[in-house]
Structure 1
Amino acid sequence: MRILVSGASVAGPVLAYWLTRHGFSVTVVERSPALRKTGGHAVDLFRPAMDISEKMGVLPRVEERATGTNRMTLYREGVRRPVRVNLAKIFSAASEGHVEVMRDDLSEIYYDAACDDVEYLFGDSITEISPDGAVRFENSAPRRFDLVIGADGLHSNVRRLVFGDESQFSSYIGAYLGVLNLPNTAGLDRELLIHVGIGRTVGMYGAPHLGDARALFLFRSEGELEYHHRDVRRQKDLLRGAFAGMHPEVDRWLDELDRTAAFYFDSITQLRMDTWSRGRVTLVGDAGYCPGPAVGGSATLAVVGAYVLAGELARAGGDHERAFPAYERAMAEHVRGSRAVGLSAAKTLIPTSRLGVAGLAQGSRLISVLPAGPSRALLRLTTKSARVYNSMIVDDYPPAASSAAGSQINPAGVPGSRME
């Protein structure tokens, strides 16, 4: 049985790994000419994703590439004295299994886990998907697949082709983010330097293996801003306008916008769909249920979703009419919880008042200095993240020694047959 996966970031390679282990034949198409190595930002893997990574045999590599961020120096806008925070204490209190890793590193690790068993089509994308599984590409010859799965992120091409325009499903939650690479002139090593003001937060961090540093900007906007997704100059101007005058150090970071080798800008948006499946097509990760970039634990949700989808397809013997609804039922509670986490995190990370700014600073300091027991209890009272992600229960889908899935045929009667 042949399955086409669109997207080679996090969900796509994890899904490809597990589908091949269950006996399916997998092709992954990725618009970029190679794995993306354009900077990006750090993402969190919580216990369920760590467990799945361990089953894949890649956990040692994930831990090896962890940023290791364990200290934070937090400046409140207009206050000269910083708050110093023991992040290692907070992370251990929040989750017994947690690691922070760069998204690009994570993508590469998952890709390496199964690249020898998966066909990858880089520098290409899907242009048409027919109900019978016929697929046309920008560059490759047309082909037919039994199933097509969109793992191509918040602005999913597969979702647009099958379900319609993104505006039908996106829910703007009042904020934007920007990420850029910049020289690590501060010599940050496993440390996060953060500035927080009303409606705006920016942090810079570094790790030994990165070479440079990353700056993550988050800011609120009552309404959606007008810009084209390819107009990088306009995006940089919006970022400058939102953070101008916050602090001389932040101004120096903004100066790097004209020199940075990597830049990303987007709204913080949640996807809200009644179903992620239609016919032979389904969605996984941010393509189907993004809880919000930078605030919602989307990497963990993507890993869990990919594992569950592959497992349900194997459990149903490749019958998507049974597998897709089972997958959506299994993920529904996790998705609802992640949406609540995203909204809560956005409010906490980008305070809306002076009291909120002070609360973020003092709350972080208090959690980091209290003994483990009280700090864990306080954290659970003040954030939903630890409770939601630590409570995720995922079925075990052990790969069978031999799977009937691999012997199934597509509607044309020939495994992987090309369109005439």
Structure 2
Amino acid sequence: MANSHRRVLICGASIAGPALAYWLNRYGYETVIVERAPGLRSGGQNVDVRGAGREVLRRMGLEPAVRAATTGEVGTRFVGRDGRTVAEFPAGRGDSDGATAELEILRGDLAELLVGRTAERTEYRFGDRVTGVEQDAEGVIVHFERAPEERFALVVAADGIGSRTRGLVFGDEPQIRSLGLETTYGTIPRTAADDDWWRWYSAPGGRSITLRPDPHGTIRATMSVVTGRGRPRPERGDLDAQRRRLRETFADAGWEVARVLDGFDRAEELYTDAIGQVRAPRWSNGRVALVGDAAYCASPVSGMGTSLALAGGYVLAGELAAHVDHRDAFRGYERLMRPYVAQAQNLPPGTPRLANPASRLGVGVFRGVLRVASTPVVARLATGLFTPPADAIELPDYAHLG
């Protein structure tokens, strides 16, 4: 690809987009990132950085900064209605092990680090989005909601599981596979009784509540409920409707439900999502490619979303730098990433119902299994129970390219 044709538009400024921009900049590409939010989205929930994702951070020189911004989470505790510990699993000590990864960071904090590392060489355009894409032999003409149309050599959609850009180019081709779980995320005040464990409470009715520490003096809370796979993705924007729905669903759940509901009533941001996976038969169409959740969301349940985003951005950029023809680069990207994605999306049987039992008996059985699994001998044998397949890819070395 000639130097005059090295201008790439990336849609989405979360993790995959800025990570891709970083590596493309290293290889001499000019990058523009368009993000429909009015500014960089701060905060968000805890994300794991494992295996290949952590190796990418090392190659970016960002691992020390991520370590300095970690949440401080020391492990996972499953608790009963009275708050007493049922079972606990300390944080992992390596690149990949444990329900709580050694490197835990808020999604927004990681995005801020990535944007900061790319801001000098990447143009960021907030408060806009792509509304049309026209491809020809020379490039892509992109239409925006606010800005004038513009030509790019390539376009990459990195705008999440519900990618609007993907819809413009691929239509309904990528299938979103529902896991039958709906989760609401929010931030609530921290109290003196809170500690640095990820606390998980399961209630009958397929419900769960979790509380996780952050480095900003607050608590990241979630409320999840099994809904069945046919339920449509929730409409966002009506916070009062979300809050009413949560009270109807969780009012009698027990444990700290009153505190979380009250906290969500006062929270400025609530995010409700139907948890699912993206199963796309292809990750490119002409000069448009997909990366991160837009291409292969494995769901938050997998614990692999951030690692897939970082590794995907690294591999896609490296393949583009290694090939003259973008079509060969896109084929190389899929060949390298497909096996990794397939393993990450292969969730344990019974997920997510296993951790969100419907009956009181089911909750009791689940807690019994956890008690046994947390004993020292069994814990050593069952290390993989809470460990995602974070090392299932050997990252190519593209250092000689840039």
**Is 2:238 aligned against 1:231?**
yes
Residues 260-409 of structure 1: matches in 2 within 5 Å? 260-317=267-324, 319-341=325-347, 345-352=351-358, 354=360, 357-358=363-364, 360-370=366-376, 375-380=379-384, 382-383=385-386, 385-386=387-388, 388-401=389-402
Residues 68 and 341 of structure 1, relative CA distance in 2, 3 Å threshold = farther
Structure 2 distance, partners of 1:355, 1:320, is 55
Aligned-residue offset at 1:320:
1.2
> What is the TM-score when the length of structure 2 is the normalising length?
0.89
8 Å CA contact retained: 1:313, 1:323: yes
- Counterpart residue number, 1:218: 224
8 Å CA contact retained: 2:83, 2:255: no
CA RMSD of aligned residues (A): 2.5
- Counterpart residue number, 1:410: none
SS in 1 for 2:119: helix
8 Å CA contact retained: 1:87, 1:368: no
Aligned-residue offset at 1:234:
2.4
SS in 2 for 1:130: strand
The amino acid that maps onto 1:349 is: A
Alignment match of 1:19 (pick from 20, 24, 40): 24
Aligned-residue offset at 1:353:
5.0
8 Å CA contact retained: 2:91, 2:101: no
The amino acid that maps onto 2:399 is: P
8 Å CA contact retained: 1:291, 1:342: no
- Counterpart residue number, 1:411: none
Structure 2 gap segments, 5+ residues each? 1-5
Alignment match of 2:202 (pick from 196, 209, 216): 196
> What is the TM-score when the length of structure 1 is the normalising length?
0.86
Residues 111 and 364 of structure 1, relative CA distance in 2, 3 Å threshold = farther
- Counterpart residue number, 2:85: 82
The amino acid that maps onto 2:395 is: V
The amino acid that maps onto 1:389 is: A
Residues 23 and 84 of structure 1, relative CA distance in 2, 3 Å threshold = same
Residues 340 and 190 of structure 1, relative CA distance in 2, 3 Å threshold = same
- Counterpart residue number, 1:94: 97
Aligned-residue offset at 1:64:
0.9
Question: What does the per-residue CA deviation read over 1:117-172, in whole Å, with 9 as the maximum and x for residues that have no partner?
Answer: 11111111111110120111112222100000000011112101111148x62111
- Counterpart residue number, 1:404: none
User: Percent of pairs identical after alignment?
Assistant: 35
Structure 1 gap segments, 5+ residues each? 402-420
Aligned-residue offset at 1:87:
2.0
SS in 1 for 2:187: strand
- Counterpart residue number, 2:124: 120
Structure 2 distance, partners of 1:188, 1:94, is 25
SS in 2 for 1:32: coil
Structure 1 distance, partners of 2:328, 2:233, is 42
Structure 2 distance, partners of 1:66, 1:123, is 29
Residues 106 and 81 of structure 1, relative CA distance in 2, 3 Å threshold = closer
Structure 2 distance, partners of 1:295, 1:92, is 16
Structure 2 distance, partners of 1:284, 1:395, is 17
More displaced stretch, 228-237 vs 322-331: 228-237
Residues 324 and 35 of structure 1, relative CA distance in 2, 3 Å threshold = same
8 Å CA contact retained: 2:196, 2:213: yes
More helix by share: 1
The amino acid that maps onto 1:339 is: Q
SS in 2 for 1:141: coil
Q: Aligned residue pairs: how many? A: 391
Residues 343 and 267 of structure 1, relative CA distance in 2, 3 Å threshold = farther
Structure 2 distance, partners of 1:360, 1:390, is 28
8 Å CA contact retained: 1:202, 1:216: yes
- Counterpart residue number, 1:109: 113
Residues 89 and 162 of structure 1, relative CA distance in 2, 3 Å threshold = closer
